[in-house]
Amino acid sequence: MKNIILATHGDLSYEFKATAELIVGSLPNIKCFGMTKEKSATQGKKELESLIEAMDESNLIILTDMYGGSSTNICTELLLSGHEFSLLTGLNLPMLLALVSGDSSDKSVSELTSELEEAGISGVINVGKKIKERIKNNA
């Protein structure tokens, strides 16, 4: 089982974990980090780094909510300073569910992160456009 950190703005990471647990059950391998306006960048970095250092980085996947956001920027700084975890941004529920359901000991972090990218992208669907196309094709 891979180690996972969800790092987002506010309490979003905690809510993503709670929602995933509602669907699949307990997820003890997921830790959460929330960057709030009350935390300085320095405090946030210390908190996130202590979460990371408690884990095997070769088996660690961090999912953040937004490219260019503070959590992603902190993780990027940590990667640039020599940390070796995997980092993906654009966290959505299909991505998280693909992670928790597709994780296995025989699957590498690299294979899994490729699957997560695809699941995250595939989870974005313009339902209104699909309905209009279906109506047009049935007319």
Residue 79's CATH number: 3.40.50.510
Output the tens digit of pLDDT for each of the chain's 139 residues: 899 999 999 999 999 999 999 999 999 999 999 999 999 999 999 999 999 999 999 999 999 999 999 999 999 999 999 999 999 999 999 999 999 998 888 889 999 999 999 999 999 999 999 999 999 898 7
Can you tell me whether residue 82 is helix, strand or coil?
coil
Entry pTM: 0.91
| Cα distances (angstroms) measured from residue 127 to each of 40, 117, 124, 133, 134 | 39, 20, 9, 10, 11
DSSP letter assigned to residue 55? S
How many distinct structural domains can be found in the chain?
1
The domain containing residue 114 runs over which residues? Answer: 3-138
Cα distance between residue 63 and residue 72, in whole Å: 9
CB atoms within 10 A of CB 116: 24
CA–CA separation, 124 and 127 (whole Å): 9
